[in-house]
Structure 1
Amino acid sequence: MSPLKISWKSICSKPLSSSLNLILVAFGTSILTILLLASTQINDKLSRNSKDIDLVVGAKGSPLQLILSSIYYIDFPTGNIPLKEANELAQNPWVKRAVPLALGDNYNGTRIVGTDSGFVNLYNLKIKAGKLWQQDFETNIGSTVAESQHLKVGDEFYGAHGLTGSTDIHKAHAYKVTGILEPQGNVTDNLILTNISSVWKMHDPADEKEHDHHKKDDDHRSENPGKKADAPEIQNKEITSLLIQYRSPMSVVMFPRMVNQSTNMQAASPAMESTRLFSLIGVGVDTLQWFALLIMAIAVISVFVNLYNSLKERSYDLAIMRTLGASRSKLFLIVIAEGIMLTFAGTLIGIFLGHAGLQIIGHFQESSQARLNGLIFLNSEIYLLAAGLAIGIFAAIIPAIQAYKSNISEILSKS
């Protein structure tokens, strides 16, 4: 009989202790798997969504809240800023591109974002079906939105006030889907995009009664915040924030300070705030990692004790095997194989449970922008399998050496 079969029968002969070892290894591995997947996905989301955005300008308040609301769309905005002042900032020589955002409504929890063509260029968006929005109340929806909300080109829907919930529905105007965006793998997959004029008119129906030439001028300026805005009809208009791209490295030092000191607005750096956010998340992640490692250490001790006791109980059987021709090396391999089979099986179960657990967590997350996916597999998970093998060998090495050095005549004489 091969060493593997003997090891397997030995494991099956002690179902209670073997199950306990499997549970300990699986529990520790599942926690490490969840942490690995979650931290990797969060870091990737932070990097992809803030790519090519140097600065966010918005109302005074929490810089982190401003970043979360204007780039990741998972928090409430800090307030609104005057369009006139936003236009003046957009014309600053340190600014290469300024993309306006107007937030405030949602459709079944999906953010409706008023913006302009600069947003399309910033994220390099492409149309999968239909065309880009051109008129008021025309929208382009992300690929995930189209799938989850069952929307297609030509469909109409009503937005609701607020960033979540559907209690205060704007029934005066219906949005129309004119285009579906190609999947981008970032936050735009979960957004509904329209022009800023639509957002204004949704909250101020009186705008529909403006003269045609005022309407055209207003739409034109709202789509081009970099141009001068002196017309009376925009003096009281507001937007939520500006996404800024710098023109030169010198802007990194000068522009945020100028905004924070000489205006009633605030400037927040996505790179700085994202690092701060991830460091805050990292505190909890590190704590859970140490907890998982502690469980794995207990699992190693448990496997070691199990194999050590098993060796004592089977010493006579092993001695008989030696008399029947089994070599010392074969006994050594039997014990090592038993430890590896226990921990490796526990590691596989733990990885599976980790993926399943994260998928369940992601399913119950309210924000689709920050939703975690348990169906993603990382190359670094191979290290978890390698760790499972190493734990098995480490826990079994001392009992295996004892089996190798066992004295046959002494064991048989005592029996």
Structure 2
Amino acid sequence: MLYLAFKNIISKPLNTLLSILLLTLSILLATFVLQISKQLNHHLEKNSKPFDMVIGAKGSALQLVLSAILHIDNPTGNISLDEVLRIRKNPMVREVIPVSYGDNYRGYRILGTSNEYVRKYGATLKEGKLNTKNFEAIFGAEVAKKLKLSVGSSFVSSHGLIQNEIEAHDEKPFVMTGVLRPTGTVVDHLIITNLESVWEVHEHGDEHIEHHDEHKEITALLLNFRNPIGALQLSRSINKNTSLQAALPKLEIDRLLKFLGIGFKAINGIAMAILLVAGLSVFISLIKTVKERKHELALLRTYGATTFQLLTLVFLEALFLSLIGFVFGWFLGRVSILLFSNLASDAYKYHLEINAPDMQEFIMLLIVIFMTILASILASYSLFKLNVSKILTDA
């Protein structure tokens, strides 16, 4: 039966190719969107979880979160260090971590902050030591991997967040003191130094980051609270009564995911529509197969084949098509994730993973098999009324 099913499939290559192509396209789209959505949700939640609030300059709350926590956007501006550090005295605040940036090295952001920032993401040293002096820096795992610098190497930063060689601070080089282990967070894609280094490197009249000994500025302040109510109360107070802006990362990330979810649902809808068309294509192909091969099927009955065996033959043909289409679609979906990951890595310094099939994809396979069974039964209805003697006589 397996051999006959295979021979029947390859005897109509165009019909077979069309059915497989439609199935492949639908599975490719569905698995691609499923993995992108799943990994993006995990990535955003994992990176925003360490902090309850971010305070920065007035502007877009989402931009503030994207720039200060996810490091994939430009900051809304700079804020006075003295002003935000007064917030530390608020009894509802448990801890504050200032962050400041404005420079990069070969496209990777140099972040000025405290070593507590590294600990918040659970990052530990792979080699070397943490930065303790001005112009010492530690590299995230991906930065060290891509730039291939060793502990003790020196480098100079360039002004701005985009790689350029024109505005390099040659007179104030940094020294790489350590490399962090991979964490799967934004830390992997950062070069981390202390705040003083960021201030000092811009001492000679920077238009965007002003800093004098009596009036230092930072990009943002990251906070954690003793309880969730404190975050809500302080957020309202800051946004209403000060020149600063407070944003809640979880709230802004949820809004972003809700917005992105519309696009994901649209693509999934297209994938499901293509899957239905693929199922219909398989169904029509099977009907044609049964109709055109009635003489062959009648001969099989004369050789002792039962109706159930004929049904099995039709089902195996459909199953071959479905499984080939599913496997191709899943494989090409993973290839697409790999290609997209390379683009995401260049633009957003974030890698997507190539994961093994998950439960949702297994359910998708069951749906395809169910469609195959249903199409086989409907297409094979005429086999129950097969008039062997009449068909052979007419032939």
Identity of aligned residues (%): 37
Size of the alignment, in residue pairs?
A: 388
Q: Deviations over 1:149-169 (max 9, x none)?
A: 112211111211111122322
Q: Using the TM superposition, give the Cα deviation of residue 395 of structure 1 relative to its aligned residue in structure 2, in angstroms.
A: 2.1
Distance 1:55 1:289, change over 3 A: same
Query: For the Cα contact (< 8 Å) 2:126–2:180, is it kept in 1?
Result: yes
Matches of residues 18-97 of structure 1 in structure 2 within 5 Å?
18-97=16-95
Query: For the Cα contact (< 8 Å) 1:341–1:392, is it kept in 2?
Result: no
**Residue number among 156, 159, 175 corresponding to 1:158 in the alignment:** 156
**Are residues 1:383 and 2:382 paired?**
no
**Residue number among 374, 378, 382 corresponding to 1:398 in the alignment:** 378
**Residue number among 243, 251, 263 corresponding to 2:222 in the alignment:** 243
Q: Deviations over 1:14-51 (max 9, x none)?
A: 11110110000000110011101100110000111011
Separation in structure 1 between the aligned mates of residue 58 and residue 371 of structure 2, nearest angstrom:
53
Q: Using the TM superposition, give the Cα deviation of residue 368 of structure 1 relative to its aligned residue in structure 2, in angstroms.
A: 4.1
Q: Which structure 1 residue ranges, 4+ long, deviate > 4 Å from structure 2?
A: none
Question: Which amino acid in the other structure matches residue 401 of structure 1?
Answer: Y
Matches of residues 295-310 of structure 1 in structure 2 within 5 Å?
295-310=274-289
Separation in structure 2 between the aligned mates of residue 367 and residue 91 of structure 1, nearest angstrom:
38
Query: For the Cα contact (< 8 Å) 1:83–1:234, is it kept in 2?
Result: no
Q: Using the TM superposition, give the Cα deviation of residue 262 of structure 1 relative to its aligned residue in structure 2, in angstroms.
A: 1.9
**Residue number among 101, 107, 112 corresponding to 2:99 in the alignment:** 101
Q: Using the TM superposition, give the Cα deviation of residue 243 of structure 1 relative to its aligned residue in structure 2, in angstroms.
A: 0.7
Separation in structure 2 between the aligned mates of residue 369 and residue 50 of structure 1, nearest angstrom:
16
Q: Deviations over 1:347-378 (max 9, x none)?
A: 110011111012112212333434434x2234
Q: Deviations over 1:156-188 (max 9, x none)?
A: 112111111223222121111101111111111
Residue of structure 1 in register with 2:179 after alignment = 180
- Structure 2: unaligned runs, 5 residues or longer: none
Q: Using the TM superposition, give the Cα deviation of residue 404 of structure 1 relative to its aligned residue in structure 2, in angstroms.
A: 4.0
Q: Using the TM superposition, give the Cα deviation of residue 78 of structure 1 relative to its aligned residue in structure 2, in angstroms.
A: 0.3
Counterpart of 1:364 in 2: which secondary structure?
A: helix
Distance 1:89 1:63, change over 3 A: same
Query: For the Cα contact (< 8 Å) 2:311–2:376, is it kept in 1?
Result: no
Separation in structure 1 between the aligned mates of residue 195 and residue 384 of structure 2, nearest angstrom:
78
Question: Which amino acid in the other structure matches residue 11 of structure 1?
Answer: I
Matches of residues 206-285 of structure 1 in structure 2 within 5 Å?
234-285=213-264
Query: For the Cα contact (< 8 Å) 1:161–1:169, is it kept in 2?
Result: yes
Query: For the Cα contact (< 8 Å) 2:301–2:388, is it kept in 1?
Result: yes
Larger CA deviation: 380-389 vs 284-293: 380-389
Distance 1:236 1:330, change over 3 A: same
Separation in structure 1 between the aligned mates of residue 355 and residue 13 of structure 2, nearest angstrom:
33
Separation in structure 2 between the aligned mates of residue 234 and residue 96 of structure 1, nearest angstrom:
27
Q: Using the TM superposition, give the Cα deviation of residue 205 of structure 1 relative to its aligned residue in structure 2, in angstroms.
A: 4.7
Separation in structure 2 between the aligned mates of residue 336 and residue 355 of structure 1, nearest angstrom:
28
Q: Using the TM superposition, give the Cα deviation of residue 339 of structure 1 relative to its aligned residue in structure 2, in angstroms.
A: 0.7
RMSD: 1.7
Query: For the Cα contact (< 8 Å) 1:84–1:235, is it kept in 2?
Result: no
Query: For the Cα contact (< 8 Å) 1:328–1:405, is it kept in 2?
Result: no
TM-score (norm 1): 0.90
Matches of residues 291-370 of structure 1 in structure 2 within 5 Å?
291-365=270-344, 366-370=346-350
Q: Using the TM superposition, give the Cα deviation of residue 247 of structure 1 relative to its aligned residue in structure 2, in angstroms.
A: 1.5
Q: Deviations over 1:357-402 (max 9, x none)?
A: 12112212333434434x2234132223223322222222212333
Counterpart of 1:166 in 2: which secondary structure?
A: coil
Query: For the Cα contact (< 8 Å) 2:57–2:243, is it kept in 1?
Result: yes
Separation in structure 2 between the aligned mates of residue 164 and residue 105 of structure 1, nearest angstrom:
8
Distance 1:115 1:328, change over 3 A: same
Separation in structure 2 between the aligned mates of residue 90 and residue 355 of structure 1, nearest angstrom:
47
Separation in structure 2 between the aligned mates of residue 46 and residue 408 of structure 1, nearest angstrom:
64
Counterpart of 1:140 in 2: which secondary structure?
A: strand
Counterpart of 1:250 in 2: which secondary structure?
A: helix
Distance 1:142 1:404, change over 3 A: farther
Separation in structure 1 between the aligned mates of residue 144 and residue 191 of structure 2, nearest angstrom:
10
Separation in structure 2 between the aligned mates of residue 103 and residue 133 of structure 1, nearest angstrom:
16
Q: Using the TM superposition, give the Cα deviation of residue 201 of structure 1 relative to its aligned residue in structure 2, in angstroms.
A: 1.1
